[in-house]
Amino acid sequence: MTATHCPYCALQCGMKIGPGPAISPRTDIPANAPGALCQKGWTAGELLTSTERLTTPLLHGEPVDWDVALDYVAYRLSAIRAEHGPDAVAVFGGGGLTNEKAYTLGKFARVALGTSQIDYNGRFCMSSAAAASIRAFGMDRGMPFPVTDLAEADVVLLAGANVAETMPPFVRHLDGPRLIVVDPRRSPTARLAWLHLQPTPGTDLALALGLLHIAVADGLVDEAYVAARTTGFDDVRTSLASWWPERVERITGVPVHQMRQAVRALAAVERAYILTGRGAEQHAKGTDTVTAFINLALALGLPGTPGSGYGCVTGQGNGQGGREHGQKADQLPGYRKIDDPAARAHMARIWGIRAEDIPGPGRSAYELLDALGTPEGPRALLLFGSNPIISAPAAEHVAERIGSLDLLVTCDFVLSETAALADVVFPVTQWAEETGTMTNLEGRVLLRRKALDPPPGVRSDLDVIAALADRLGHTFGTEPVEVFDELRRASAGGPADYSGITYERIADETGVFWPCPSEEHPGTPRPFLDRFAHPDGLARFVPVQHRPAAEEIDADYPVYLSTGRVLAHYQSGAQTRRIAPLVQAAPEPYVELHPDLAEQLDITAGDVVRVSSRRGESKAVARISDAIRRDTVFMPFHWEGANRLTNPALDPTSRMPEFKVCAVRVERDS
């Protein structure tokens, strides 16, 4: 049996594989100790033996030899670059790729292709929380404490995360504390809550301002902490003047007495946490929304206090590591800014090129997809570990843009909806067929070990990248440990310093927390206990103001749409929709609506419903439930459909699209 980790979400539960693809839980990994897995984890072995595995490269849908496919791609890339310049080639990565792959992809784009056009699907995941954390704390370490700390808390406020479905073993860490959940739906997580605040979609920012207003007005601010560990509170205090609770109740629909109950519960106890998830973050004002929750946490003296804190519940398996090693448009390895001259000089030394030859920042994920095939945009796209036809907002428009490319190349192990459109598909290894590191939602670097040989004909993403780099005149490593050693050197001295982390240490210590600047360093489970990462060591209060959603409901589109996940499926469903027990558990897309709305629209449970927005149309089966607000419908996004409707309005700082709220019309499909 081989000890490794789950292929799916950011909890990265420990599991064992063997004999063959059989899965059993590990008991030594704190995230899921003493041995819990959700149904996605238990069934992950089926993915390895799926009859839908690709085992031969496809060129325009026809099986070809590896050399034919690689030569073709290298030739076309060279021709497109020669005709249109290096930025005519774009690279799109994924938050499920190992750290080694994320690092190599960023290096491939900047060194071998010389393009600035690289970003990844993690931009759609937790980029607003990352931007807000950097602004407040000077560093983004997702959840800057071990997840097991939560169990010791007295109160936890969870804003916009349905962990009971997305990562069920996480719920065990919430058994002890009193739980306050903020969610427009009475989700399975909200049903566990002591207090459920159910705001109108798109109003979480107003709610957070109202909570802080109450804390200030009721004298609940931790003045000693604010004076010793923060700066900027006076400006925030002033900015709150117009967010009195009754006004916030009118905007959010959350009763004043519930807001007061939440704030008093948080302020009355010694140990409390505020956590945010996609529900609070996936908005055109997501960075400011998270900032408002961080302001509340700072006012109550939580971040960097033993037993308390603020954290982001990251979603994708390597959502944290994926944003640290250079596959983001604006970053270099070590979580460095790409426009920082010192960072560019450092990476130029590691890569053996001139600093001025490292391209500058490129387009963010949606902006990149939106520009594909346009006169100014990329003509070729290399796609790794992502399925944007399903997962991007305004998905029909994105499909059109992808369809207008001169060259689409994907690396995948099954023919996902996006891979089905590709000129070339390279069949690649899966999680249990290769070794590599993942950084989970706690910032703990973990080792995924190879347990099985891949099917004949399949190669790793690292092999594919190196083979293309070779044809473009560059030498890239293919051994994960060799790549990790280069990544360690690249990260040295940066915010996400991995230089002291080795495969051996990870194995011996069941993971190592970054920053870890030397092999003698123990790693940093709780980085903010003594100081925050700004040069003066202080956290920043940042004044923010609520504004309406980018698209509000009106006479034509009178209902809010919110999207999310279900227990049985993961992200675009490319993996989980191919696993029989998961398909049996959740076979089809649905739209959840309140009984009053259903009656008004003459819809009964099981009817096929047409949902339309200004961007597209989708059909799904109706589910009637009073868990949803009367003015809102909910659709899971694992199938084609939900993201045809969503709004690509972007947050000005994080460039996160507004997945979590848009205006739709709902009708029975006659």
- Count CB atoms within 10 A of the CB of residue 192: 16
Q: Burial code of 587-621, b = ≥16 C-beta within 10 A, e = fewer?
A: eebbbbbbeebbeebebeeebebbbbbebbebebe
Of the ranges 5-13, 305-313, 330-338, 621-629, which one interacts with ligand SF4 (CB under 6 A)? 5-13
Could you say whether residue 167 binds ligand SF4 (CB under 6 A)? yes
Dihedral (CA of 352, 357, 360, 364) sign: negative
In order, the DSSP letters of 154-165 are SEEEEES--HHH
Could you say whether residue 6 binds ligand SF4 (CB under 6 A)? yes
Token duo for residue 81: 């670059």
d(C-alpha 208, C-alpha 76), whole Å: 51
Task: Tell me the closest approach of the beta carbon of residue 11 to ligand SF4, in angstroms.
Answer: 4
Could you say whether residue 12 binds ligand SF4 (CB under 6 A)? yes
Of the ranges 36-44, 98-106, 292-300, 588-596, which one interacts with ligand SF4 (CB under 6 A)? 36-44
Could you say whether residue 199 binds ligand SF4 (CB under 6 A)? no
- In the bound state with ligand SF4, the residue whose beta carbon lies nearer, of 209 and 452, is 452
Task: Tell me the closest approach of the beta carbon of residue 9 to ligand SF4, in angstroms.
Answer: 3
Binding residue for ligand SF4 (CB under 6 A) from 3, 17, 29, 37?
Answer: 37
Region 67-106 residues binding ligand SF4, contact defined as CB under 6 A: none
Could you say whether residue 366 binds ligand SF4 (CB under 6 A)? no
- In the bound state with ligand SF4, the residue whose beta carbon lies nearer, of 6 and 102, is 6
Give phi and psi for 196, each to the nearest 5. -115, 115
Give phi and psi for 67, each to the nearest 5. -65, -35
d(C-alpha 462, C-alpha 445), whole Å: 19
Of the ranges 3-11, 101-109, 482-490, 560-568, which one interacts with ligand SF4 (CB under 6 A)? 3-11
Return the residue matching tokens 């010694």: 270
Binding residue for ligand SF4 (CB under 6 A) from 3, 4, 8, 526?
Answer: 8
Q: Is 96 helix (H, G, I), strand (E, B) or coil?
A: coil
| DSSP category for residue 110 | I
Of the ranges 7-15, 181-189, 258-266, 424-432, which one interacts with ligand SF4 (CB under 6 A)? 7-15
How far does CA 404 lie from the centroid of its chain?
Answer: 27
Residue whose C-alpha is closest to residue 327's, from 89, 8, 99 = 99
Binding residue for ligand SF4 (CB under 6 A) from 3, 38, 105, 567?
Answer: 38
Return the residue matching tokens 């990844």: 120
Of the ranges 9-17, 99-107, 173-181, 586-594, which one interacts with ligand SF4 (CB under 6 A)? 9-17
Compute the chain's Rg from CA coordinates: 24
Q: Is 196 helix (H, G, I), strand (E, B) or coil?
A: strand
- In the bound state with ligand SF4, the residue whose beta carbon lies nearer, of 44 and 300, is 44
Binding residue for ligand SF4 (CB under 6 A) from 4, 29, 41, 201?
Answer: 41
Binding residue for ligand SF4 (CB under 6 A) from 3, 4, 9, 329?
Answer: 9
| DSSP category for residue 449 | P
- In the bound state with ligand SF4, the residue whose beta carbon lies nearer, of 166 and 460, is 166
Task: Tell me the closest approach of the beta carbon of residue 594 to ligand SF4, in angstroms.
Answer: 29
Q: Are 638 and 573 in contact (CB under 8 A)?
A: yes
Could you say whether residue 494 binds ligand SF4 (CB under 6 A)? no
- In the bound state with ligand SF4, the residue whose beta carbon lies nearer, of 37 and 297, is 37
Q: Are 171 and 189 in contact (CB under 8 A)?
A: yes
Q: Are 665 and 557 in contact (CB under 8 A)?
A: yes
Q: With CB under 6 A as the rule, give the number of residues binding ligand SF4.
A: 14
Could you say whether residue 40 binds ligand SF4 (CB under 6 A)? yes
- In the bound state with ligand SF4, the residue whose beta carbon lies nearer, of 166 and 198, is 166
Could you say whether residue 13 binds ligand SF4 (CB under 6 A)? yes
- In the bound state with ligand SF4, the residue whose beta carbon lies nearer, of 5 and 623, is 5
Token duo for residue 617: 């149309």
Could you say whether residue 384 binds ligand SF4 (CB under 6 A)? no
d(C-alpha 495, C-alpha 190), whole Å: 35
Of the ranges 35-43, 100-108, 408-416, 600-608, which one interacts with ligand SF4 (CB under 6 A)? 35-43
Residue 249: HSE in the Cβ half-sphere, 13 Å Cα cutoff: 10
Q: Burial code of 328-350, b = ≥16 C-beta within 10 A, e = fewer?
A: bbebbbbbbbbeeeebbebbbeb
Binding residue for ligand SF4 (CB under 6 A) from 95, 142, 169, 333?
Answer: 169
Token duo for residue 133: 């954390």
Task: Tell me the closest approach of the beta carbon of residue 448 to ligand SF4, in angstroms.
Answer: 11
Of the ranges 11-19, 74-82, 272-280, 517-525, which one interacts with ligand SF4 (CB under 6 A)? 11-19
Region 600-659 residues binding ligand SF4, contact defined as CB under 6 A: none
- In the bound state with ligand SF4, the residue whose beta carbon lies nearer, of 82 and 580, is 580
Task: Tell me the closest approach of the beta carbon of residue 32 to ligand SF4, in angstroms.
Answer: 6
Spatial CB neighbours of 376, under 8 Å, sequence gap ≥ 6: none
Query: What does the H/E/C string look like for 555-576?
Result: CCCCEEEEEECCCCCCCCCCCH
Residue nearest to ligand SF4 (CB): 41
d(C-alpha 137, C-alpha 143), whole Å: 12
Using CB under 6 A as the criterion, which residues of the chain lie in contact with ligand SF4 when the complex forms?
Answer: 6, 8-9, 11-13, 32, 37-38, 40-41, 167-169
